Structure 1
Amino acid sequence: MGVSPWNIIFLLIVLVQVFVASADTNAQDTSGLNGIAGSWGNKPSNWAGNDPCGDKWIGIICTGNRVTSIRLSSFGLFGTLSGDIQSLTELQYLDLSYNKNLNGPLPSTIGTLSKLQNLILVGCGFTGEIPKEIGQLSNLIFLSLNSNKFTGSIPPSLGGLSKLYWFDLADNQLTGGLPISNATSPGLDNLTSTKHFHFGINQLSGSIPSQIFNSNMKLIHLLLDNNKFSGSIPSTLGLLKTLEVLRFDNNPQLTGPVPTNLKNLTSLAEFHLANCNLTGPLPDLTGMTSLSFVDMSNNSFSPSDVPTWFTASLSLTSLYLENLRIGGEVPQGLFSLPSIQTLRLRGNHLNGTLSILDFSSQLQLVDLRDNDITTVTSAGMTYKKTLMLSGNPYCNQGNDDAHCKASGQSNPALPPYKTTSNCPALPPQCLSTQQLSPNCICSVPYRGTLFFRSPGFSDLGNSSYFIQLEGTMKTKFLSLSLPVDSIAIHDPFVDANNNLEMSLEVYPSGKDQFSEQDISGIGFILSNQTYKPPSNFGPYYFLGQTYSFANGALQTSKSNTNHIPLIVGASVGGAAVIAALLALIICIARRKRSPKQTEDRSQSYVSWDIKSTSTSTAPQVRGARMFSFDELKKVTNNFSEANDIGTGGYGKVYRGTLPTGQLVAVKRSQQGSLQGNLEFRTEIELLSRVHHKNVVSLVGFCFDQGEQMLVYEYVPNGTLKESLTGKSGVRLDWKRRLRVVLGAAKGIAYLHELADPPIIHRDIKSSNVLLDERLNAKVSDFGLSKLLGEDGRGQITTQVKGTMGYLDPEYYMTQQLTDRSDVYSFGVLLLEVITARKPLERGRYVVREVKEAVDRRKDMYGLHELLDPALGASSALAGLEPYVDLALRCVEESGADRPSMGEAVAEIERIAKVAGAGGAAAAESAASDSMSYAASRTPRHPYGGGGGDSASEYSGGGLPSMRVEPK
C-alpha cells in the first residue's frame, strides 16, 4: 500500500516549519520590530535583516523565536513609538527610558500586549494622554511613566491593574483628581497590592478622596507632593499601617487639620507636610517610633508649646518645623537625640534661655533664627558646629558672637562630596571624549543624575553615606556580569522639589568604553529598580544621558559575522526543502486536477475593468463606490499613525472621515498580504449585494496605483473576541451575549436564506463578529465566502478553507461545502461565548471539553468550571441549558443532524425571552449601559479578516487522513 502524496506534503510542511523555527525569529515579531524601527532615528547599529533573535539585535531578548524583552535606555532614540508594538504579543519587558527625544503620544495598541509585566518609559518626551488601554494589561507589575510630558487625567482603568507593584507617574503635566472606583469603572482604591504611588510634581488637583485608602492596601510609599490638591487630608490615611514614606508637601491649597489617627502609622520613616495651608493643632507624633525625617514647615497650625514628642523620637535625624508659631524653651534633650543631624526651627516663638549642655556627635546644624531667645548659657558655647541665632533678642542686645552671624548650610567650609580619586600627582592624559575614572583609567563613562525623593538623612557632608551608595551599586552591576570598573558620585544637593540630587558616572572595566549591550543592561538595572540603594536613601529615580557608541558598530559587526554560516546554511537548506515541496505539489496537482473542483483562480486586480460588461473581469458591484487612491489618502490623513486602528496579515486598517462626515474603516492590503486578489474581489462582489443590519456594510473599494483597499462602515466597539478576552473594554453580561449571538445568527441566516443566490460565509468566528455603538452584532469578512449557485444546489465541491477550531469536520473530510458548515462554526462560537476560551488551544478543543463535561442531571449541566467567570453567579444565567443544547446540536458530526440557521435564530429568540434579553427596550438598555465602557474606545482591528486568528487559518486541498478535532 503506497504512501499518500498528501501525507508526504504534510510531513514536508512540518519539516519546513521546524527548520525555519530553529533559525528565524517569529515573522510577526520581525515585522513588528521593523515597523517600530522605521519610526525611529539613531536606532541600534545592528538592527537590520529579518532575524532579530538569531542575529542578537541589541536590546532584544528572545525566548525561543519570540521577542520577550526590549531594553534600549540611553540610546539617543528619536521619533515616536509605532502602533506596530502590538505585533509583539509575547513581550514582557519594554524599557525605552532616557531617550528624551522619543516623543509623541503612546499608541493605544500597547494595551493589547497581554503578557507585558514591565512598562518603563522614564525620562522620555512622550506627550498626550496616558492611554486608558494600559488598564487592560492584567499582568503588569511595573509601570514607570515618570519624567515625560503626559497631560490629561490619570485613567481610572489603571485601577484594574491588580498585580501592579510599582506605579510611577511623577514629573509630568497630569491634571484632574485621583480616580476612585464606582459602578462603571475601577479606581486607585482597587490597587491593594501596589506598594508605590509616586504621583508628585504634576498638576493634580481636587480633594484627596477618603475612599482611596483602605486597610487592605500594602502601600509603603505615598508621594503626592508638588501638586494642586485642595481640601483636607482624609482620616482613612491612618489605615495604611505599612506606610514608610509620606509626602504631601508643596500643595498650597491643602487645608484643614491633620487627622489625629496618623499616629497609627508606626512604620512611617519620612513625613513631609511642608508648604501647605494646614490648620488645627500641631500634629502629635507620639508613638511614631520609626520617624527619621519630619518636615511640617510653613503651615497655619494653631500656636502651641514645644510638644513632648520632640525628645522622644529617638530615630530622628532631621526635624524641620519652620514658621509654625511654636513657643516655650527649646528642650535640652532635643540636641542629644542619638541620630539627630539637623534642627531647623526658624521663625517660631521659642524663648527663654538656650542651653546646649549635651549634644549628639551627629548634630551638624541648629537653625533657631527669628525666635524670641534672650539668653545663651556659656556652656552652650561648647557646641562648635553651625548654630544660627540671628533675629533673636539675644543677638539684638549687642552680642557679637559667631552664632549671630552664622548662616547657610552645615559645614560651609567643606566642599560638596566627590568620589575620591586614586590618581598620582601626574595623572595620565586622556582623549577629549574620555575621563579619568576613580581608579585613574581613561575611559568614556555612562553619565546621569540620581534623584532621591525622600532620604532619611540631611547631613550631606557625611561621606560615609555616598561611599556606601557607590559600593552597593558597583556590587550590583558586577553581580549581573556587567563590566564596571568603578562608580563616581559628586555634587549632592537638595533641589527645589526637595529631592536629593547628585551626578553619577559609571566607568567601564577592561575597555575604553561600554558597548551597546552594556548600556542596555546598566540602564535597565537603574530604570526598573533592580538596584536597591541603602534604606536610608529612600525611593529614587535616575535620568541617564545618551551614550556615544563610537566603536559600537565595529563590535556589532564582529558579532554578526559569526552568524553568516548559519544564515547561509539556513537559506540554502530552506530553499532546497521548499523547492522539493513545490515540485511535489505541482506534480500532484496535475494528476489530481478535476473539473468538479471549481475553485476560481485569482487574477490580478490591475486587469479588472470596472466599465467592462464582462463578468470575468470586473467585480460585480451594486451600490459600492469606487475610490481613487488619492481620495482615501486624504480621508485617512495620509494614512497617518493616529488613524491606524489595527493590523493583520493583510495589512493595516485606518479610520477615515468622508467629505460627507461619515466615519469609515479603510482596510489597506500590503504587498505579500495573506488576503489574495480573489478574496479581495469576492468580498467586494458579495458585500455589495447584501444589505442587512447584522452584516457589515461595504462603502466602497479601491484598486488604484497598485493598491487594494476596502472601505467599510466604521464599527466602533471592536470584535466579539476582544470583548470576551477583556481587550476591548466592552463588558458583556449574559443578556448582552445572548443579544450579540442572536444578531450574528440573524446575519448568517440572511446570507443562507434570503440572499439571492445564497451565500456560505465559510469563516464564522468571534473575530469576524463586530459590535457597533449599541452592541448590535455585524458579521464581517467575506473573503472566503462562496455562492451556492443559481441552480439552488445545497452543496458545492471546493478546496477546504477556514479557521482551525471553527472548521466543520464533515466539510474538511469530504470537501463538500453546505450551509450546515457555517452552522457548525456558529455552534463553536456559541460555546466560545459562554466559556471565553479559544476554540483550539494547546491540544484542547472546546467542543470536546463541553461534550465530555455536560451532565444534564446537574444544575447548569455541570459546566460551572468551564463557564466564563465574568458571567457572574449561575443563578443569573436563565436559559443556559437550552442554549447549550442548541450549541451541541449545531456541532453534530453530521451536517444533516444540525439545525438550519433559521431554526437557530428562532431558538435563540426563545432563550433570550426567557433570560429577559429580548425586545427593543432591552437592546436599548444594553446599548446605554455599554457606553460607559466603550464610548471612546479605539478598536484594534475589527475589520481584520481574521485578525488575531490569522495564524490558525487553514487553506489547503484537504487531507483525508486527518481530522480537525484534536485527539
Structure 2
Amino acid sequence: MIWRVLLSLLVAFIQVLAIAALTNTNDFTSLKALKDTWGNYPPNWIGSDPCGDVWDGITCKNDRVVSITLASIDLSGQLSSDIAGLTELQTLDLSYNKRMTGPLPPQIGNVNKLSSLILVGCGFFGPIPGSIGSLQQLRYLSLNSNNFIGSIPPSIGNLTNLYWLDLADNKLTGTIPVSDGTSPGLDMLVNTKHFHFGKNQLSGVIPPQLFHSNLTLIHLLLENNQLTGRIPSTIGLVDKLEVVRLDRNLLSGPVPPNLNNLVSVQELYLSNNALTGSLPNLTGMNLLNYVDMSNNSFDATDIPPWFSSLMSLTSLIMENTGIQGPIPVSLFSLFQLQTVTLKNNRINGTLNIGSTYSNQLQIIDLQNNFIEAFTQRAGFSVQIILVGNPICNEGGTESYCSLPQPSSNSYSTPPQNCVPSTCSSETVSSPTCKCAYPYSGTLVFRAPSFSNFRNATIFASLESKLMVTFRSNSLPVDSVSLSNPTRNTDNYLSLDLQVFPSGLDFFNRTAITGIGFTLSNQTFKPPPEFGPFVFEGRSYPHFQVMGSNKSSNTGVIIGAAVGGTVLFLLLVLAGVYAIRQRRRADTADRMNDPFALWDTNTTSGSVPQLKGVKAFKFEELKRITNNFSETNGIGSGGYGRVYRGTLANGQLVAIKRAVQGSMQGGLEFKTEIELLSRVHHKNVVSLVGFCFDHGEQMLVYEFIANGTLSDSISGKTGIRLDWMRRLRIAHGAAKGLQYLHDEADPPIIHRDIKSNNILLDERLTAKVADFGLSKLMGDSERGHVTTQVKGTMGYLDPEYYMTQQLTEKSDVYSFGILLLELLTARLPIENGKHIVREVRSVMDTSKNMYNLQGILDPAVASGMSAKSVEMFVDLALRCVQELGSNRPSMSEVVKEIENTMEIAGINPNAESAPTSSTYEDANKDGKHPYSNENMFAYSGAYPADSKGFEPK
C-alpha cells in the first residue's frame, strides 16, 4: 500500500516536471547560440529551460524570454545575429561589459518587440545598423560610450515611440539627419525627450529642420563635436527645452535673438565656438541656473543688465567674451549665486561685492582684466582671484593677487553614527561600518545646475534618492557612498559611487544586473539640480566570494538536504527514463506507419488519396517503369533517380525514387505529401501521387517536357530564349511563387527558388518545382519561422542565413537572383564573384540600359527594350535588398513584371507559344531535359562557415 502511494506521488511529481520546462524551443535555441559566442556568462546557464530554471539575467513571461539584463558581469564576446530569434524580447541590457565587442548585427532590427536597447559602456564598434529604425516599440536607445563609427542612421526617425536617444561618446561622423520627404530624420521624433550626441565627430550645420514647435525635447546635448555654421533660429520654437549644450564645436555667426524664448532652459552652454555679433540677451529666462558662453568672438559690450536679472543663477561663466566696464554690485546679491568666472575680458573700475551678497557664493575669478581696486569687507570668505589686473601689477601681496593652490573636493559620504571598520585589503567599510565588497562605478552628470561641490547637503540628497530607488526596486542594497566630486575636462561633474550589499558581504549576479539596469535604463532619477547623467559601471569580480559567517551546522544541514534531494531525484529520473522509453517506442511505431491515422475509407487501401493525389503500390510503379530500367531513367541527383512512366490513362509522369540513405523519416515524408497535395496552380508542378510501400519512398509528378530553366538558359536544351520569352518565364515563375505565398492553404515558403527548380513545359510555361525544402506557414507563424538554414549557394537570402528566421521575403531574394540570371545568363556565383555585386559594380543609372550591355546575355541583348531592361533590373535589385522589409512582396513583383512586359510590347495575359518547337533549334540534340544531375536534387543545410554568397 505504501509503495502504491509513493508510486502515485512519484508519477504526480514527474508530471509536474514534465510541464515545468516552459521555455519556448526557439527562444532556447537562440539563447544557446548567444551563449556559445559569449565568455564569462553566468554559471547557472545550464540545462535547456532558462525560464523554468531561472537563468541569471533572463526574465520570462510564460514560456517566452522577454528580458536579458547582464550589466557589469565581465561578459565577453559579440552580439550575434541569433538575437533575432528572441521574437518576444522587450529589454536587452549588456551595459558595462568592456569585453563585449564587434559590430551590432543588422538583425537586431528583427526583434520587433524590443522597447529598451541598452549597450552603455561596452566595446561595440562599426556602424550603427539602419535596421534599428524597424524597432517601432523602442523607447530607450542607449548606445553611448562605445566605438561606433559612421553616421547617425536616418531610419531612427521612424521610432515614433522613442523617449531616450543616447549616442554620445562614440566616433560618429557625418551630419545630423533630418527628413526630406523621401527618407526619415530626427525631426520626426516628436515624442523623444532626450537627444544626447556629445563627444562624437559630427560635422556640418545643425539643420534648421531639426527643430519645430511639435518637438517635446527637453535635453539637447551636442557638445564636443565638429558642427559648423549658425545656431538655427528654429531652436527658439522648442519651448520645452531644459538643457542646451552646443559648446566645443565650430559654430559661428550671431546667436539667434529668439533664444530667450526658451524660458524653461536651466543650463545653457555655448562656450568654445566662434560665435560673433552681440552677446545674446537672456532676459526672461528666469529658470536659468548655469550659463557658459566663454571663448567666443562676441562684439565688445558693457556688462549687460540681464546678468543681474536671472534670479535662479548659480554659475555665470563668461571667459573671453569681450565684455567690459564695471561689474554691477547687484550681480552678487542673486541669492543662489555660487560661481562668477569672467576671466580675460575688459572689466574695469572697482570690484564691490556689496553687503548683501549670496551666502552660497564660493568664487569670483576675474583674472586678466582691468580692475584697479577692491572693496574688501571684514569676515569675507569668498575666494577672489584678481591676478593679471592693475590692482595686482604693483607688487600686491594680498591673497587675491596669487593663484590659489588646487584644492581637492574632499567630499565623501560620512559614516552613519558608527565607527568605520578595519577591513581586509579587498573589502571596504561601508557607511554603516560593515566590511563588504561594493559594486562601484562613476556617475557622470552632463549638465549640473550647480558649481559648489563642497555642499554636503546636495550630495546627501543624491545618496538618499539612490537608496530610495534601489529599495523600491527590491534590490539588496545596504548603503551607498559618494566621493571625489570633480569637474572634468568635458565640463561634466563626475562622482565615484560605491554600492554596498545587504545581508551578505557580496552581491550575486542577479543583484548586480539589477543595480546596473536601474542605472543604465534611467530608472534612477537624480534630484533635478544634477541634470542628465550616465553611469560608467565597473565589472564586479566578487561573485564567488564566500562570506565568513557560515557555521558547521549550516554545512551539515545543507549536506543532509542535498543528500535527500539526490536520492529523491534518482527515483524521479528512473521514472522519467521509463516514461521516455515508452514514448520513444510509441514514436517509433508512428514513424514506421505515419499513415495509420489517415482516413482509410478509400479505394487504394489503407493509404488514402488526398485532393487528387493517388497512393500507388510499389508493383504498379515498377510495372510502368519497366522495373525501373535504365532506358526509363531520365535523371539523377543526391536524392536518387528519376524515371519516366506512363499511367494507365496515358498520362506521362516523372517518378522520383529515393535511394537508401537519402530517405526522409516517415513523418517528414507524410508532411511533404500533405503539403504537395494542397498545391494546384498552372505555374506550379503538380504532384500526381506517391508510394510508401515495400520500404520505398517515391513521389510521382506530372511530366514536364522541357526540363529546367537552367538548362535552357545555358543552351543545353537547344531552346533559344529571347527577351519576350524570358519576360514570360519570369512572369509565370513569379505567379507560381505568389500562389504559394498568398493562396496556398496554409501558405508555403519554397526556400529553394533557383533556375534548376523552375521547369518549362511544352509551351515553355514556367512551373515552380521541387518542394523538398519548403516550409508551411501556420497561423501562429505568420511573419517568420525560425528554422535551420537550408538553400542553395548564391540564391540564399543573407538575412535568413544570419538570423535563421525564414520569411516569404527569403523567397523574394532568391527570385531576385533568378531575375538577374535570366538577364545575364550567368550563374549566381562565378569565379568567387556574386552576381549582385557584379551588376552593381558596372551599373550607371544615368546611362542607357544602365550601362549593363557588357554583362547582358548576348542571345537577347539585341532585342531588348532599354526601358524594360531598366525596369527589370530595378525590380531585381529591390528583391535583393539587404533587409527583407525593404523587398517587395511577390504580388508586387508580379505586377511590376506585368508593367515591364507592357513596356516591352507584350500582353501579360496572352497565351504562350503553341509549342517549344516554334523556337529554332529546339531540342536539337534530342537530349532529355531531366538529364541534368541537379534536377530534383535535395539541397541540404548550408554549412555554417560558407562564404562568398552574400552580396555587398
TM class, shorter-length:
0.5 to 0.7
Distance in structure 1 (CA, Å) of the matches to 2:110 and 2:43: 29
Give the equivalent residue in structure 2 for 1:421. Answer: 415
Could you tell me which of 394, 402, 407 is aligned with 1:405? 402
Quick check: 1:480 aligned with 2:480?
no
Give the equivalent residue in structure 2 for 1:41. Answer: 39
Distance in structure 1 (CA, Å) of the matches to 2:710 and 2:704: 12
Distance in structure 1 (CA, Å) of the matches to 2:734 and 2:395: 100
Distance in structure 2 (CA, Å) of the matches to 1:301 and 1:383: 33
Tell me the TM-score normalised to structure 1 length.
0.64
Give secondary structure in 1 for the equivalent of 2:279: coil
For residues 462-483 of structure 1, give each alpha carbon's deviation from its aligned partner in whole angstroms, at most 9, with x where no partner exists. 1111111111101111111111
Give the equivalent residue in structure 2 for 1:153. Answer: 151
How do 1:174-189 and structure 2 match up within 5 A? 174-189=172-187
| Residue identity in the other structure for 1:439 | T
Could you tell me which of 306, 315, 320 is aligned with 2:317? 320
For residues 98-150 of structure 1, give each alpha carbon's deviation from its aligned partner in whole angstroms, at most 9, with x where no partner exists. 00010000111110011000000000000100011011001100000000000
Change beyond 3 A, Cα 1:360–1:751: closer
Return the offset for 1:573: 5.6
For residues 757-795 of structure 1, give each alpha carbon's deviation from its aligned partner in whole angstroms, at most 9, with x where no partner exists. xx999968877389xxxxxxx95799999999xxxxxxx
Distance in structure 1 (CA, Å) of the matches to 2:360 and 2:616: 89
Give secondary structure in 2 for the equivalent of 1:67: strand
Distance in structure 2 (CA, Å) of the matches to 1:444 and 1:21: 40
Change beyond 3 A, Cα 1:49–1:304: same
Give secondary structure in 2 for the equivalent of 1:471: helix
Distance in structure 2 (CA, Å) of the matches to 1:553 and 1:21: 35
Give the equivalent residue in structure 2 for 1:300. Answer: 297
Give the equivalent residue in structure 2 for 1:393. Answer: 390
Give the equivalent residue in structure 1 for 2:368. Answer: 370
**Contact 1:144/1:166, CA 8 A, preserved across alignment:** yes
Distance in structure 2 (CA, Å) of the matches to 1:282 and 1:469: 35
Return the offset for 1:920: 8.5
**Contact 1:515/1:552, CA 8 A, preserved across alignment:** no
Question: CA-atom RMSD, angstroms?
Answer: 4.8
Give secondary structure in 2 for the equivalent of 1:375: strand
For residues 185-238 of structure 1, give each alpha carbon's deviation from its aligned partner in whole angstroms, at most 9, with x where no partner exists. 100111111000000000000111111111100000000000000111100010
Give the equivalent residue in structure 2 for 1:77. Answer: 75
Distance in structure 2 (CA, Å) of the matches to 1:343 and 1:164: 38
Return the offset for 1:802: 4.4
Return the offset for 1:408: 5.5
**Contact 1:204/1:229, CA 8 A, preserved across alignment:** yes
Quick check: 1:58 aligned with 2:56?
yes
Give secondary structure in 1 for the equivalent of 2:415: coil
Give secondary structure in 2 for the equivalent of 1:417: coil
How do 1:604-683 and structure 2 match up within 5 A? 619=640
Give the equivalent residue in structure 1 for 2:920. Answer: none
Distance in structure 2 (CA, Å) of the matches to 1:376 and 1:566: 92
Return the offset for 1:441: 0.8
**Contact 1:452/1:501, CA 8 A, preserved across alignment:** yes
Distance in structure 2 (CA, Å) of the matches to 1:487 and 1:213: 40
Return the offset for 1:934: 8.4
Give the equivalent residue in structure 2 for 1:260. Answer: 257
Return the offset for 1:184: 2.5
Could you tell me which of 710, 722, 732 is aligned with 1:746? 732
Change beyond 3 A, Cα 1:106–1:806: closer
Give the equivalent residue in structure 1 for 2:285. Answer: 288
Give secondary structure in 1 for the equivalent of 2:709: coil
Quick check: 1:497 aligned with 2:490?
yes
Change beyond 3 A, Cα 1:240–1:806: closer
Return the offset for 1:528: 0.1
Distance in structure 1 (CA, Å) of the matches to 2:458 and 2:779: 62
Give the equivalent residue in structure 2 for 1:247. Answer: 245
For residues 665-720 of structure 1, give each alpha carbon's deviation from its aligned partner in whole angstroms, at most 9, with x where no partner exists. xxxxxxxxxxxxx999999x999943289x9x99xxxxxxxxxxxxxxxxxxxxxx
Give secondary structure in 1 for the equivalent of 2:523: coil
Distance in structure 2 (CA, Å) of the matches to 1:779 and 1:543: 50
Distance in structure 1 (CA, Å) of the matches to 2:292 and 2:698: 69
Change beyond 3 A, Cα 1:336–1:114: same
Quick check: 1:338 aligned with 2:345?
no
**Contact 2:233/2:258, CA 8 A, preserved across alignment:** yes
| Residue identity in the other structure for 1:218 | T
**Contact 2:149/2:171, CA 8 A, preserved across alignment:** yes
Could you tell me which of 447, 459, 478 is aligned with 1:454? 447
Change beyond 3 A, Cα 1:805–1:35: closer
Give the equivalent residue in structure 2 for 1:271. Answer: 268
Could you tell me which of 508, 514, 524 is aligned with 2:507? 514
Return the offset for 1:403: 1.3
Distance in structure 1 (CA, Å) of the matches to 2:736 and 2:216: 55
Tell me the TM-score normalised to structure 2 length.
0.64
| Residue identity in the other structure for 1:39 | T
Could you tell me which of 235, 238, 242 is aligned with 1:237? 235
Unpaired runs of at least 5, structure 2:
1-13, 551-557, 618-629, 644-670, 673-695, 715-726, 763-771, 782-806, 809-864, 889-952
Could you tell me which of 754, 768, 774 is aligned with 2:749? 768
**Contact 2:164/2:192, CA 8 A, preserved across alignment:** yes
Give secondary structure in 2 for the equivalent of 1:456: coil
For residues 53-95 of structure 1, give each alpha carbon's deviation from its aligned partner in whole angstroms, at most 9, with x where no partner exists. 0110100000000000000000101111111101100000000
Give the equivalent residue in structure 2 for 1:205. Answer: 203
Change beyond 3 A, Cα 1:214–1:801: closer
Unpaired runs of at least 5, structure 1:
1-15, 602-608, 623-648, 651-677, 699-740, 754-758, 771-777, 789-797, 808-837, 840-918, 944-967
**Contact 1:45/1:553, CA 8 A, preserved across alignment:** no
Give secondary structure in 2 for the equivalent of 1:150: strand
Return the offset for 1:454: 0.2
Distance in structure 2 (CA, Å) of the matches to 1:212 and 1:430: 55
Distance in structure 2 (CA, Å) of the matches to 1:680 and 1:371: 98
**Contact 1:128/1:151, CA 8 A, preserved across alignment:** yes
**Contact 1:246/1:268, CA 8 A, preserved across alignment:** yes
Could you tell me which of 691, 710, 713 is aligned with 2:709? 691
Give the equivalent residue in structure 1 for 2:167. Answer: 169
Give the equivalent residue in structure 2 for 1:525. Answer: 518
Q: Would you say how many aligned residue pairs link Structure 1 and Structure 2? A: 687
Give the equivalent residue in structure 2 for 1:625. Answer: none
| Residue identity in the other structure for 2:411 | Y
For residues 742-771 of structure 1, give each alpha carbon's deviation from its aligned partner in whole angstroms, at most 9, with x where no partner exists. 998621667999xxxxx999968877389x
Return the offset for 1:579: 4.8
**Contact 2:709/2:759, CA 8 A, preserved across alignment:** no
Distance in structure 1 (CA, Å) of the matches to 2:571 and 2:706: 50
| Residue identity in the other structure for 1:146 | N
From the CA coordinates, give the structure whose radius of gyration is larger.
Answer: 2
For residues 571-600 of structure 1, give each alpha carbon's deviation from its aligned partner in whole angstroms, at most 9, with x where no partner exists. 766665565465467578569674766779
Distance in structure 1 (CA, Å) of the matches to 2:78 and 2:775: 39
Change beyond 3 A, Cα 1:477–1:435: same
Change beyond 3 A, Cα 1:750–1:300: closer
Give secondary structure in 2 for the equivalent of 1:362: coil
Give the equivalent residue in structure 2 for 1:435. Answer: 428
Give the equivalent residue in structure 1 for 2:882. Answer: 937
Distance in structure 2 (CA, Å) of the matches to 1:519 and 1:34: 22
Identity, % of aligned positions: 43
**Contact 2:708/2:757, CA 8 A, preserved across alignment:** no
Distance in structure 1 (CA, Å) of the matches to 2:45 and 2:698: 34
Change beyond 3 A, Cα 1:510–1:326: same
Give the equivalent residue in structure 1 for 2:213. Answer: 215
Distance in structure 2 (CA, Å) of the matches to 1:82 and 1:332: 63
| Residue identity in the other structure for 2:216 | K
Distance in structure 1 (CA, Å) of the matches to 2:540 and 2:705: 55
Change beyond 3 A, Cα 1:348–1:548: same
Give the equivalent residue in structure 2 for 1:644. Answer: none
